[in-house]
Structure 1
């Protein structure tokens, strides 16, 4: 049977999608402050950290307020207890941060899939709010395919390219989803090499 030649997709565009369970992020945010801040430093770049820290500070402030209004142990006076934690200011701030962070997590994971087979770290996919723009911009940091193929080259000194990508983040119930469309020269080269290898067999 004659082999069928398949032309690769002609444009260097690659999609990626991901879904994140919001309660999973919330459980992380409910842990001690050092644990949460370490996770934030792992997930966010230096440019993204101020946005995370500003939101997390609001959660900490409401947590301290709620603790200050907790009943004194051994007393029956419950007039100063928040009757329903679900609707407390602390819980509202925690939910806001959980939703925000889950959306960013999904966007970063979607960007990693869009850039396959290039390995993309969380810090190399930034969701930034630029001055004068309401919608955040997804910026992907990658080296060129030629530079990436040089195994002996010091990767720390490679010239990185900052490329904007199209993305969309949505929330529904307990889930946050993200879709990314990115420029990915790596996928085009990989497809061409795969087809050439098949033709040689």
Structure 2
């Protein structure tokens, strides 16, 4: 006879349930990917409409971030010709790389949530360590996440992001859950884990 402690029984019953029902409770999700040319963003930042261009990409909450606020301050000083030309090129290149990553990430989010209308100002890109209740250290490097404002119709949602830069390109991928977390598990599994899960698999009177 094989004896199992409570932990092993719970793990065994949970695995057996999802093996016997592989697709029935698979949570719906969306995937979006986008690529952006950094030199194209650079041209916009070097033009007279740079500040307006950045404000169209970044949400109000993003513009309060120290890095974005510093970028906008640099563009304002550049527009007023308060920055020496010798320092301008490098700062513009860094700004273009940053904005290109945000642009690609927001386009990826829009593609992942293709069942609803989302605009750039609805999306705030931040880091997991900065989210309320996060257990990650703010000083450590944490993965980027997207906060999608639902407005009056939808609920605020969160999505995972991956942003990469290589040469003249920035690429981003978004993995988004299209369902609320509390609905991802069937009620009987959510309320009574462990051996009780067999009540939904075996007939009445049978034992596992």
Aligned counterpart, 1:163? 157
Contact 2:33 2:171 in 1 (8 A): yes
Q: Are the aligned partners of 2:36 and 2:171 in contact in 1 as well (CA < 8 Å)?
A: yes
Indicate whether 1:137 and 2:158 are aligned.
no
Per the TM alignment, residue 9 of structure 1 is displaced from its structure 2 partner at its CA by: 8.9
Aligned-partner SS, 1:128: strand
Post-superposition shift, 1:162? 1.9
Give yes or no for the alignment of 1:175 onto 2:189: no
TM-score (norm 1): 0.63
1:64 to 2:72 alignment: no
Q: CA RMSD in A?
A: 2.6
Q: TM-score, normalised by structure 2?
A: 0.61
Match for residue 35 of structure 2 among 19, 23, 37? 19
Q: 1:38 deviation in Å?
A: 1.8
Match of 2:107 among 90, 106, 109: 109
| Mapping 1:149-160, distance limit 5 Å | 157-158=152-153, 160=154
Unmatched runs of 5 consecutive residues or more in structure 1: 1-6, 68-87, 143-155, 186-201
| Counterpart-to-counterpart distance in 2, 1:9 and 1:123 | 33
Shift of 1:140: 1.7
Aligned position for 2:194? none
Structure number with bigger Rg = 2
For residue 45 of structure 1, report the CA deviation from its aligned partner. 1.3
For 1:127 and 1:157, locate their aligned partners in 2 and report how far apart those are by CA, in whole Å.
20
CA distance in 2, matches of 1:20, 1:177: 6
- SS of match in other structure, 2:60: coil
Work out whether 1:46 is the aligned partner of 2:63: no
